[in-house]
Each structure stands twice: as C-alpha cells, then as structure tokens.
Amino acid sequence: MSQRTAAFFQAIFDLSSSIVLFLASFLALLLHGLRQVLTRRIPVKLTINEKNSALVSEHSTTTIFEMIKERCPSLYGPQATFRPTWWLPGGDLQTIWCVVAEMFYRDSIPYTRQLLRLPDGGTISLDVYPPFEGPDDDTPILFVLHGLTGTTQESYTRATVKDITRSKVETGTGFRVVALNFRGCDVDSPVTTPRLYHAGETDDTRSALLWLTQTYPKAPLYGCGFSMGASTLACYLGQEGDKTPLKGAICVSNPWDWVTATDHIENGGFLNRYIYGPILADALLTMFKNSRYAFEIDKRLNIKDIYSRRYVTIRWFDDRVTAPQFGFKDAMDYYDKASSSRYVHKIRVPHLSIQSADDPMVALKNLPTDDVAESDHVVMATTAVGGHVAWFTTREDRWFTTPIREFIEAIHSVCGQSLSNFYWTLIVHALVGSYTTTYARCTADRCQRSRSVPQFA
C-alpha cells in the first residue's frame, strides 16, 4: 500500500471517529436533556412572614413557620419540589387532564350523605367518608368545599379524600372527610328555596360547621377548599377570625380577587375566551335551569329571558342571576365584595394557600402576595407549573395532596387532641345556663345573628 493510500484511509478513519464521537456526545446530551425534562423538579416558593409568624394555637409554643420547617418537607427544604408528569408540561395541559382523566380513571367515593334543613328553608347536603361511628367519635375531620359548579365527586376532591382518609400505616392521616355540596350543584340534593350560592356566601359553610361541632363535639375540625370553594373558605375564616371551630385550613387554586379573575377568564388567552369561560358559564346556566322549579315565583329574576338563553358569559349570568339573588348592584359589585383577598389580614388560624403560576384561571396578579408576606397566619406555596387544581405527577396522582396532608397533620400534632376555644366557649355557656345555639347569617357586607339550628332534613 502506497504512503498516499495509507494517509487517505487514515484520514477516513479519523473523520469517522470524529463523527461517531460527535454523534455519541450529541446522543448523550440528548438523553441527559430528556432525562432532565422527564424528571425535572419544580421548586416550591414559600411566601411567609418568618419574623412575625403566629403561634399555631394559643396553647402552643411553636410558630407556624417553625411547624412548617420541622413537619412539612413538601413545603420547606430540599424536598419542597413538584415533579410534573412529563407529558403534561404546562398549566393548560395539566388543567385539561382533570377533565379528560375522568373519562378513563373515574372511581367514586362511597360517601354517606346527610341532608340539613337550614333556618331559611334551604337544604344542603354533606357527604361523609368514612361514616361516623357515633356522637363520641373523635376522629379528626377535614371539612371540604368544592369549586364552581362542582360536587363532592370532583377528581381533586376524590384525590384528597383518598390520601387523607388512609390510615397512618398506609402513609395517610386516618382523618375523616366531610364535604359540602353547594346548593344546586348536586342533582340529588333538592333546592328548597329560590337561592343558590356564590363565591362569598358563607352562610351554608357556617351552618355545616355548627352542625358538626354540635353533633360530634370531640372531633377536631380542619378546612380545605378548592378554587371557588377556597375563596368561600377564606372569606369565612376572615369573617370569623379566632371564633371559628377550624384549627387550620388549606386553600387550593384560590382566585382571591374575582374582579381580575373573571376578566382573566373571559379576556385572557384563546383557551380562556373560547374554552374555559364558555364551559363554566354553560355549567352555571345548566345548574340554574335544573333548579327551575325553585325559581318560578322569584320576581327578582327575569326567568323567561334566562331560560331562553343557550349561550351566556359568566358576567352575564352573575349580572342577571347572582347579583339580584343576593342583593348586589351588579356583577362587578358582587366580584368586589366576594373577593377573599379582602380578608387576608383577618384570618386568625394557620392557613396555607397552594397556587400555580401557570394557572389558566388565576393570573399571578390575582395573588395577594404582599398581603400574605405581612400576614402572621397565612402562608402561600407557589409552583411555576401545576395548572388549576391539577398538579399531576402521574395520570392520577396529584402533588397537592401531600402538602395538604402534611399541613393538617402538623397542626393536629402541635395542637394535640384538646378541644378548640370555640367548643370550650360553648361548654362555659352551657354550664352557666345561658348557652343558646346561634346560627350566623353573614354576607359580604354584614353579619346578622339568628337563634336557630340546622336540623336533619
């Protein structure tokens, strides 16, 4: 072989080696990048007033911040991350999967239902799991409020129920869940008054909690709300202050400011304007039409016009149905007065808000971050990805159930099994013979007291 031929083959070999090395390096980088995408962990940003964090309870020496540091690894420390499933990388996909997954992976919770007749003649239904064992049952209760036009069988509610009610041996808490169906949302619950509900309406929440404290006085109470239910729960906590029987609460995907939230849903991106907004508005209209029998004689509403509509917007519905029902001037007046952001500084029990920066329903400008940073009781955990009440880590599992479980279990451990101040107050009044059960009727503007108790329906 000539020297020139040998040099040629050597050049070919060197070139081939370089190409192979390049391709191997490129493939290694590609696999590394793919691995990073598939296993990426989104850090949890915690907004908390570290210096002035309140005590978990007046009988505790532990602050809320100290409790989170010691007992909530999903919120604070190296494990405070969310790893979304790789095929749901953004907020829209995460949110849409909430609906799509229902077509394939739906498994209902075998609740026990309790109907309560309220002082105004209305009826609410409470779904309980697992069933109560008697009036002396002291199993801690997580009281749950669902989202707009939802029910207690929503996927996010079921995910929470499964995680919370599992025994401690199965990495659960062994708690009981009592979930409220807002009036008109569940087709099996009768609408017995010409009145539904709205985001700032706390009467039914207060009635349900009063019934629970009376019927199962030994059971510690905690609260959890999702989306609109989170807003209702936050409003209730702000109205009650330290008089609530709840020892702590978690709100997931709370819109906080309904003025900006409604504008964002109706005038945001393409999916907001043509998918999310119309679907929610249609669900509201359908719910109202399903309860037609209760509104036939309601002169506050233009029933004929409402029933003739096939397509409406959320604002149209609130202008013509919600506002007249509850005495608001119009939809904007309702949104302003029903916004739970007004109550951040009035919440007096440990409160965790879980939010996502890419929530298609709740813009970042909705979040009262500055108010939370100054609050001594409210904490906000935010992730860059998660969608609206979604946070899927697999096709069914959700990340938010972990901080919910850790947070309420931490409060329960710190507070112990002692009765709440609310219940001690009832005992003192009973002993002196001056105790009278009160049912509080509150609106966004005022609070009126009525001396009647929710009864079995």
Banded pLDDT at 17 (limits 50, 70, 90) = low
Distance CA 286, CA 201 (A): 20
Residue range 128-183, pLDDT digits in tens: 999 999 999 999 999 999 999 999 999 999 999 999 998 877 777 899 999 999 99
Q: Say whether both 49 and 149 belong to one domain.
A: yes
- Tell me if 91 sits within 8 A of 432, measured CB to CB: no
Residue 384, in any domain of the structure = yes
Task: Give yes or no: residues 23 and 84 share one domain.
Answer: no
Strand locations in 344-418 (E): 351-356, 378-383
Q: Give the pLDDT band (50/70/90) at residue 456.
A: low
According to DSSP, the residues that pair with 251 across neighbouring strands are 225, 353
Q: 66 and 34: one domain?
A: no
Q: Does 131 map to a domain? A: yes
- Whether 96 and 158 map to the same domain: the answer is yes
For residue 209 the two structure tokens come to 């909690």
Same domain, 362 and 443: yes
Asked whether the predicted pLDDT for residue 271 surpasses 60, the reply is: yes
Residue with tokens 């207060």, as numbered in its chain: 206
434 and 448 inside one domain: yes
Rounded to 5°, the CA angle 382-386-392 comes to 130
Within a domain: 192: yes
Indicate if 249 and 150 belong to the same structural domain: yes
Q: Which residues contact 406 (CB under 8 A, 6 or more apart)?
A: 71, 72, 73, 74, 75
Is residue 279 included in any domain, yes or no?
Answer: no
Pair 391, 398: CB distance under 8 Å: yes
pLDDT above 50: residue 248: yes
Q: Are residues 104 and 55 in the same domain?
A: yes
Q: Is residue 291, in this structure, part of any structural domain at all?
A: no
Q: Are residues 230 and 349 in the same domain?
A: yes
Q: Indicate the burial class of 143 (C-beta count within 10 angstroms; 0-12, 13-18, 19 or more).
A: buried
Segments forming the whole domain that contains residue 189: 44-257+339-456
Residue 286 lies in a domain: no
Answer whether residue 75 is part of any domain: yes
Indicate whether 138 and 178 sit together in one domain. yes
pLDDT digits (tens, 9 = 90+) for 365-406: 999 999 999 999 999 999 999 999 999 999 999 999 999 999
pLDDT band at 364; cut points 50, 70, 90: very high
**Residue 452 and residue 434 share a domain:** yes
Cα separation of 367 and 353, whole Å? 10
CATH of the domain at 362: 3.40.50.1820
Residue 81: strand pairing partners:
43
Residues 83 and 210 in one domain: yes
Distance separating alpha carbons of residues 451 and 445, to the nearest angstrom:
20
Question: Containing H/E element for 116?
Answer: strand 112-117
Burial of 80 (0-12, 13-18, 19+ CB in 10 A): buried
- DSSP-assigned states of every residue in 267-317: HSSHHIIIIIHHHHHHHHHHHHHHTGGGTTT-TTS-HHHHHH-S---HHHH
Percentage of the chain beyond pLDDT 90 is 72
Strand bridging mode 123-129 / 141-145: unpaired
In a domain, 432, yes or no: yes
d(CA 48, CA 65): 7
In tens, the pLDDT along 163-172 reads 999 887 777 7
Q: Quick one: tokens of 270?
A: 């393409």
Residues near 134 by Cβ (< 8 Å), separated by ≥ 6? none
- Number of structural domains (the chain) is 2
Summarised one tens digit per residue, pLDDT across range 282-334 is: 999 999 999 988 998 888 899 989 989 989 999 999 999 999 999 999 999 99
Catalytic annotation, residues: 227, 359, 388
